[in-house]
Amino acid sequence: MGTPRAIGVVATVVFGLTLAACSDGTAGGGSTGDSNNSASTLVVDNSFDLKTSDPARAFELTGSLVDHQIYQTAIGFDGASVKKIVPVLCTYSVSDDNKVLTLKMNGKHVFSNGDPVTADDIVYSYQRVQGIEGNPSFLLDGVTVKKVDDNTITLTSASPNPQLPYILPNPSLGIVDSKIVKQNGGTTDTNDKAEAYLNKTSAGSGPYMLSSYDVTSKVVLTANPHYTGTKPHYSRVVIENVQPATAKANLQAGAAQIATSLDPTQASGMDSGKTKVQQGESTITIFSWFNMNPSVGGPVSNVKFIQAVRHAIDYDAVLKVAGSGAVQPGSLVPNSFLGALKSDSANSFDLNQAKTLLKDSGYSGQQINMLYPSDVGYNLANVAQVVQSNLQAAGINVKLNPQPSATALTAFRSGKQQAGIAYWGADYPDPADYLVFTPGQSLAKRAQWTSAQAPDDAKLATAAESAVGDSARDAAYQALWKQMNIDGPFVPLFLPPNLLVVSSSLKNVADNPVTGIDLAGIS
C-alpha cells in the first residue's frame, strides 16, 4: 500500500499556507523585507515542512505547494474540485476494465528552458518516480508506463485501477525535462543524483520556475517566460517560513492577502471588511483507534467495547470544540469522495446504548491510555478532553497521554499502544486510498487488526478494490465502511474545516485540497 504522506498520528499542521502581499493589491508586502517586492510580487507565508523540490521525492505539504507551481501534470483537477479531471499536458481515456489508462498529448507545452514537452518526458518522469523509490513512489505501484508513439502513452495495471485518474494530478507526478535531468545526474533507479540540481534550478513547464531555494527560510519563484498557458498576474512569488501567529498579524496589518495557516479560532471575526473567510473541502479525517491485540489492547480489543465507544461520544460536542465548519463523517472517507458515508447510526451518541454495550464487553474499570500528539492543530487537545469526558460518562476510565508529534507518531507506528487519536490526509481523492485501514493492511497493522479477526471486512475490501464503474464502486465501498463501523477498530470523529482567510479584493483564489493553491490563477 506504499508510504502515504499522512499515515498515523497528526504530525503536521495543515493550516500552513499564507500568501502575502499588500492589502490593496497594488504594492508588495509581507514580512520578508525583500527589496524586490513590488506590485507583481506575491509573498506566501507558510509553516514549512519542506524537504525537497524534486517532485519525484517531495511528498510534504510545502513541497507540493511549490511543485504545483513549477511542474505541470499530465492531467489535473478543475480548480478546487477533487471530482472533475481536466486535461493539462494530455487528455486521457480509460479502458472498460479500468486496467489501461491512455494519455494523448494535448497541444504544445514548453519547459522553462525552451525545450518542448514530449511523450518521452512523461514516460521518463513516471519511471523516475517509480525507480528512485522515494516517498511518492507508491502512487504508481503496479503500473507499467509505456510510450506507444510520439503522442500516446499507456499506463497499464494488472488489476483494475479506477483511482489512477485521481492520482495523476498529484504534484509529485509533475513532468520534468528528461534531457536536462539526465544531464544533471537523473536516472530511473536508486542511483539518481538529480535532487541537488532540482533544488536549485527547476525543470518544469508550469507557470513559475525556481529562482532560489532554502528549506529553512524561503523559496522564490519567477514567472516562466515559456509558459504556454495564461500569464500569471504575479510575476514573482516569495514563499516564506512563517508561523501562524505571524501570518495572522500580517493579514491584520494589511501586509498579507491570504492566510491558510489560521485555525477556526484564529479566523473568528475575520469574515468582514477587508478580509473574508473561504471554506473548502476537507480531505483530513480525525479518528480514534483501538488496539485489537488483547495482549496490548486489553479490554479495548473487544468489539463490544469499541461499539460502546461509538455511542458514548457526543459528536456535536466534538464538533463544537473542533471549530466552525467541522463536520462528522459517516466513515473514514471525506464526505466529498466517491464511496463515502455521509452518516451512519453506528457512530451516534446514545449514552444508554453505550452503557449496555460496555457491560456486554466485560469491561471492569481498567484504565485506558489514549495517545495523542500535543503540538499540532485541529484543537486536538480540546477534542481529546471532550472524548475523555464522554467516555468517562459511559463508565470508561480514560487517561490521556499527550506526546510531541514525532514521539506519538513513532509510538502509533509500533503497534504497541492501547488506544489513541490520529488522522489521515488523502494522498488522492478516491476511496481506494483508505484501503490501508482494512484488515491486515498498513494502518490496520498499527491497531493489530488482521484478516483472521475480521474475515467479512477483508472480503468486502477485496470486493471494493475490484469493483468497476462509479456506481458499483460507490456501493461496494459504502458496504465496506458500514461493516467496519460494526467491528473495526477505527472511530471517525470529524473532518476539520479547510479555511482560507483572504483579502476581500482578491479574485480566483482556488485552494485544491490535494494540489494546494493555484498561485498563477490569483488576480
Grid cell 486496467 in the structure block, residue? 99
The residue type of 434 is Y
Cα(289)–Cα(177) distance, integer angstroms: 44
Check residues 263 and 519 and name the one with the higher pLDDT: 519
Q: Give pLDDT tens digits for 247-299.
A: 888 888 878 787 877 788 888 888 988 888 888 878 889 999 999 999 999 99
Task: Provide the grid cell at 392.
Answer: 468517562
- What's the rounded Cα separation, in Å, for the pair 467 and 447? 27
CB-based contact 438:404 (threshold 8 Å): no
Which of the 8 DSSP states describes residue 392?
Answer: H
Is residue 15's pLDDT more than 70?
A: no
pTM (predicted TM-score): 0.84
DSSP track, 164-202: HHHHTTSGGG----HHHHHHTT--SSTT---HHHHTTS-
pLDDT at 473 over 80: yes
**Do the Cβ atoms of 517 and 65 come closer than 8 Å?**
yes
Give the span between the Cα atoms of 161 and 465, in whole angstroms: 8
**How much is the mean pLDDT over the chain?**
89
Looking at residue 221, its pLDDT comes to 95
Distances (CA, A) of 28 to 2, 160, 213, 422, 500: 42, 50, 20, 39, 20
User: From the CB of residue 253, how many other CB atoms can be counted at a distance below 10 Å?
Assistant: 12
Q: How confident is the model at residue 66 (pLDDT cuts 50, 70, 90)?
A: very high
Task: Name the pairing type of β-strands 258-259 and 85-87.
Answer: unpaired
Mean pLDDT of 414-426: 92
Number of C-beta neighbours around residue 223 at 10 A: 20
Give the per-residue pLDDT at 516.
Answer: 87
Lowest-confidence pick of 34-38, 333-337, 496-500: 34-38
Q: Report the CATH number of the 17-279+499-521 domain.
A: 3.40.190.10
| CA proximity to 369, closest of 354, 349, 391 | 391
* DSSP reduced 3-state for 253: coil
Q: Where in the chain is the domain with CATH 3.40.190.10?
A: 17-279+499-521
> Which sign does the torsion angle of CA 461, 462, 466, 472 carry?
negative
pLDDT-derived band at 160, boundaries 50, 70, 90: very high
pLDDT at 39 (0 to 100):
62
d(CA 120, CA 293): 49
Mean pLDDT on 75-101: 95
The SS3 of residue 472 is helix
93-107, 260-274, 380-394, 416-430: which range is least confident on average?
Answer: 260-274
Q: Where in the chain is the domain with CATH 3.10.105.10?
A: 284-494
**CA dihedral of 370, 324, 313, 378, whole degrees rounded to 10:** -10
> How crowded is residue 372: how many other Cβ atoms within 10 Å of its Cβ?
25
For the stretch 36-50, what's the b/e string if a residue is b when 16 or more beta carbons lie within 10 angstroms of its beta carbon?
A: ebeebbbbbbbbbbb
Closest CA to 417 of 433, 400, 392: 400
Element housing 46 (H / E): strand 41-46
pLDDT digits (tens, 9 = 90+) for 88-100: 999 999 999 999 9
Report the alpha-carbon distance of residue 64 to residue 54 in Å, rounded.
10
Residue among 257, 320, 284, 249 nearest 427 (CA) = 284
What average pLDDT does range 49-75 have in this prediction?
A: 92
Classify domain 284-494 at the CATH superfamily level.
Dipeptide-binding Protein; Domain 3 (3.10.105.10)
262-267: list long-range contacts, CB under 8 Å, 24+ apart.
262/15, 262/499, 262/501, 263/15, 263/323, 263/377, 263/378, 263/379, 263/499, 264/322, 264/323, 264/324, 264/325, 264/326, 264/379, 264/497, 264/499, 265/323, 265/379, 267/499, 267/501
Per-residue confidence (pLDDT) for residue 45, from 0 to 100: 79
278 pairs with which residues across the strands? Answer: 500
Q: With the C-alpha atoms ordered 452, 454, 455, 458, is the resulting torsion angle positive or negative?
A: negative
Give the pLDDT band of residue 454 (cuts 50, 70, 90). very high
Q: Could you tell me what percent of the chain has a pLDDT over 90?
A: 68
Q: Compute φ and ψ for 327, nearest 5 degrees.
A: -135, 155
Q: State how far Cα 448 lies from the chain centre.
A: 24
pLDDT tens-digit series, residues 427-436? 899 999 999 9
Give, to the nearest 10 degrees, the angle between helix 380-394 and helix 303-312: 110
Angle between helices 455-466 and 470-487 (to 10 degrees): 160
Decide: helix, strand or coil at residue 425: strand
